[in-house]
Structure 1
Amino acid sequence: MHPGIKQLFLFFLVFFFALSLQSQVPGFYMKKEKRKVDLPFIDSNSLIILPVSINGGPEVNFLFDTGVKSNIFFSKTLADQMDMQYTRKLNLVGADGKTVLSASVSPNNHFDLGPVEGIFQAILVLDEDFLELEKVIGIPVYGVIGHEFFKNNPIKIDYDNASVGFYKRTALKWRPFGFRKMDIEIDGNKPYIASTIRQANGPDLQSKLLIDTGANHGLLLNMETSEDIVLPETTLESDLGRSLGGDLFGYVGRVKRLGIHGLKFRNVITSYPEENEFSEVIIGTGRNGSLGSDVLNRMKIIFDYPRERILFKKGAKFSNEFKYDMSGLMVRVYSAENKRFYISQVRENSPAHRQGVEAFDEIITINKIPAAFWELSDITDLLRSVEGKVISLELLRRDPEDETASTLHKITFLLEEQL
């Protein structure tokens, strides 16, 4: 072979071998080379939910969450039906220091999102669906996709149009028109930003916050991370939700202002979880809290992990008021398929509590509209809509001593702002 031809042959051999190696690196990639593809997502209280097919199986809903390191699957039964292969077992200790979750590790799975695919994806498969997200979100969600989706490519979250933009890795060398640029810190495969917070009581804070697209709060502050974090005078004791770390309890109030690189959010609803055994881990990260979807949904955001930055600008909801529930009710779903809703908790001295609503009452109608015509997100919006609005409920209350006996209760109350 002629030396020049031989060198050219070796060059192409190395080139194609390099491409082959690149395609084998675990991650998410476009199936066809483009600058950008768009993935429409299901918006449920501003959480990002996309249908995903695993290993050629049927599409199931996944929550896309910057606050999670690993991909997680909630249904061991369904994972077995998808022929997932497991290599080892893990025991995960929750944030409450008591909850132990067992999980199986399944390596080398293929994720199909239409124009985007994830290759060689490891999944933690929980032996028990501890989160029960369907009850909280109102639609079936079978898992969480975390850092792997965001790590290699710029990802644009457009809450206004319920769309995820997946960019070519080399795209966005220059900042798009109208977007601000801010450095982020990727620590433990999670993104953090700096912010300034003006409290209702207490000094101004310079805070490190986790960006958590999988949380539906606005701002969360961990009081144990700084003695300067002070509860507002007006707070409500509340169940703050459930995570893989366990149940969170604490208080809800407001801060006067949250500043993010020139953007100012006013009177932000803020959660203050109680200190627990997981607090040492939070303190170890150096963070003071997290930003959830009730703040993030007011912006258009591009996560650019490879360049350790975010690009962002105001969205259509930027000037909307931060609203909190005015009924005192926490509504959950028995079955999203059959549209059956129930009251999981009633806050003491709230409008609903004073009129006799009880936990585990099943909702039959809301303002004379049958429950089957409602979505959980619509009920949530209604109960935080306008002070003084009339809410009429028909509730089915079962006898705890006789499961076959029940009574129908008609209850009316007015929404009342308590924060």
Structure 2
Amino acid sequence: MHLGIKPFIFFFLSFFIAFSLQSQVPGFYMKKEKRKVNLPFIDSNSLIIMPISINGGPEVNFLFDTGVKSNIFFSKTLADELDMQYTRKLNLVGADGKTVLSASVSPNNHFDLGPIEGIFQAILVLDEDFLELEKVIGIPVFGVIGHEFFKNNPVKIDYDNGIISFYKRSALKWRPLGFRKTEIEILGNKPYIQATIRQSNGPNLNSKLLIDTGANHGLLLNMETSDEIVLPEVTLESDLGRSLGGDLFGFVGRVKRVGINGLKFRNVITSYPEENEFSDVIIDTGRNGSIGSDVLNRMKIIMDYPRKRMLFKKGARFSNEFKYDMSGLMVRVYSAETKRFYISQVREGSPAHQQGVQEFDEIISINKIPAPFWKLSDITDLLRSNEGKVISLELLRRDPADENVSTLHKITFLLEKQL
């Protein structure tokens, strides 16, 4: 299982964009004054994806991500078609600290979400789609909406029903019945909370954590931020997520408990990324890690930036076990349109590896069901479902010396719990 489809984006740049302001400042607003409006979202591995029309163009999917401060667009070709105007070019440093990526700044765009509109929206347009989120999410995603959507209004995220409620700024003065409250700190346009962590193999931690709706891990701890963060005895080496500079690697284990103002999550799957070129920036924020959607989706949450608080209560999935991949496979999709899946990684020593599954094998069928009938999220759920479950794969393997030559392989293995 690919733990972190979240694009770990670190932009080491400062730029100021001058807007020709008219009656309003840049932000997201209701078209008609109401107490709240509801927006249905696509839930893909508990990531929040919604279609948006930009500058009157066709709707395209965006990931809504509290962990990113800037709006980002992945397709320069489509951005040109949507009549985005650019004021400057920027060079960005990838998450590996070496890769230099180029982007264009488009300062003045209109976003349409039906009852909500975003005005005077700046977008950072990547010259190349380095993230390729469609391959790891399983549906087309053209960009990321960050701080702008959340900054002025309370926003309720209901993962159980796939609904975002966008409230009038003056609404929710009082805490709704049944909701707990914790303070949030907005730093660098990102929200942080305090949480307690009981480690499996170390002292209890009082930690500052980023609330990151764009990451599908449960908990992530950056070991370089504290000598008290200790790896669990049982861990797996893993690819932890996509980034602008490539994949990020580290370890995956469990902590015994994560507590947020008395609400406790037990045996949480936790990522421990390797120290990298940007560790100093993480340390400077004072944070120890982040909470992703595999914890957030077990609650109903209200991000209330104007009042610097997060309101939350248990959701329908609160008591669900935190599960990790039991096959050793990372599956990706060539494109959502073709519904063709392939094996991007095989963990050494895993059940799939022992039975001969190889990287770049194309999946023809799973448990006798043809690949086009599957969604990537359903494959992910299957491969972390139940220990002892039989998985039968029909795989097409191309000859690396001649792509026109391929062989068909039928492989069966049992899922095995490794964390």
TM-score (norm 2): 0.94
Query: What is the match of residue 17 of structure 2?
Result: none
Alignment partner of 1:256 is 2:256 = yes
User: Which residues of structure 1 form unaligned runs of 5+?
Assistant: 1-20
What's 2:7 paired with? none
Equivalent residue number for residue 67 of structure 1: 67
The 5 Å alignment of 1:107-126 reads 107-126=107-126
Deviations 1:184-218 (A, max 9, x none): 00000000000000000010000000000000100
- Asked if 1:267 is matched to 2:267, the reply is yes
Q: Which runs of structure 2 are paired with 1:9-48 in the superposition (5 Å)?
A: 23-48=23-48
- 2 CA distance for matches of 1:348 and 1:166? 45
**Partner residue of 2:154?**
154
User: How far has the Cα of 1:243 moved from its partner?
Assistant: 2.4
Q: Following superposition of structure 1 onto structure 2, how do residues 88-167 of structure 1 map, counting pairs within 5 Å?
A: 88-167=88-167
Task: Summarize the Cα distance change of 1:338–1:418 in structure 2 as closer, same or farther, 3 Å threshold.
Answer: same
Q: Does 1:207 align with 2:207?
A: yes
CA distance in 2, matches of 1:233, 1:304: 38
Letter in 2 for 1:387: E
Write the mapping of 1:329-344 to structure 2, written as runs, cut at 5 A.
329-344=329-344
Stretches of structure 2 lacking an aligned partner (at least 5 in a row): 1-20
In the other structure, the counterpart of 1:194 is: 194
How far apart are 1:23 and its partner, in Å?
4.2
Quick one: which amino acid aligns to residue 343 of structure 1? Answer: I
Instruction: Give the whole-Å Cα distance in 1 for the aligned partners of 2:158 and 2:381.
Output: 20
The C-alpha deviation readout for 1:122-162, integer Å capped at 9, x for no partner, is 00000000100000000000000000000000000000000
1:246, distance to aligned residue in structure 2 (A): 4.3
Q: In structure 2, what is the Cα distance between the partners aligned to 1:320 and 1:31?
A: 38
Q: State the alpha-carbon separation in 2 of the partners of residues 117 and 123 from structure 1.
A: 15
State the alpha-carbon separation in 2 of the partners of residues 84 and 78 from structure 1: 9
Distance 1:384 1:229 in 2: 27
| Matched position secondary structure for 2:80 | helix
* Inter-partner Cα distance in structure 1 for 2:22 and 2:323: 47
Partner-residue secondary structure (3-state), 2:206: strand
RMSD across aligned positions (CA): 0.8
Separation in 2 of the partners of 1:183 and 1:335?
41
Q: CA deviation at 1:79?
A: 0.3
| CA 1:262–1:245: 2 relative to 1, 3 Å | farther
Q: Distance in 1 between matches of 2:191 and 2:248?
A: 22
Question: In the alignment, which residue of structure 2 is the partner of 1:318?
Answer: 318
Q: What secondary structure does 1:24 align onto?
A: coil
Q: What is the aligned partner in structure 1 of residue 14 from structure 2?
A: none
CA displacement, residues 244-284 of structure 1 (integer Å, 9 cap, x when unaligned): 36421000000000011110000000000000111000000
CA distance in 1 between counterparts of 2:393 and 2:205 reads: 43
CA distance in 1, matches of 2:107, 2:192: 28
Q: Partners in 2 of 1:408 and 1:212 — Cα distance?
A: 41
Equivalent residue for 1:231? 231
Q: Which residue of 1 aligns with 2:361?
A: 361
Structure 2 distance, partners of 1:194, 1:99, is: 33
- Provide the rounded CA distance (Å) in 2 between the counterparts of 1:22 and 1:108: 12
Q: What is the TM-score with the length of structure 1 in the denominator?
A: 0.94
Of stretches 242-251 and 126-135 in structure 1, the one that deviates more from structure 2 is 242-251
Larger relative helix fraction:
1
Return the letter of the residue paired with 1:352: A
2 CA distance for matches of 1:341 and 1:95? 26
Residues 163-174 of structure 1: matches in 2 within 5 Å?
A: 163-174=163-174
Runs of 4+ in 1 over 2 A off after TM superposition: 243-247
**1:255 partner SS:** strand
Counterpart residue identity of residue 368, structure 1: K
CA distance in 2, matches of 1:245, 1:157: 30
What's the offset of the Cα at 1:91?
Answer: 0.7
Identical pairs, percent = 88
State the distance in 2 between where 1:22 and 1:351 align.
61
Deviation at 1:335, TM superposition (A): 1.3
SS of alignment partner, residue 129 of structure 2 = coil
Distance 2:44 2:375 in 1: 9
1:260 & 1:244 partners in 2: Cα distance?
A: 31
Q: Which whole-Å CA distance do the structure 1 matches of 2:244 and 2:120 have between them?
A: 24
How big is the shift at 1:95?
2.1
1:386 alignment counterpart: 386
Q: CA separation in 1, counterparts of 2:218 and 2:22? A: 38
In 2 relative to 1, CA 174–245 (structure 1 residues): closer, same or farther, beyond 3 Å? farther
Equivalent-residue separation in structure 2 for 1:235 and 1:314 (angstroms) = 28
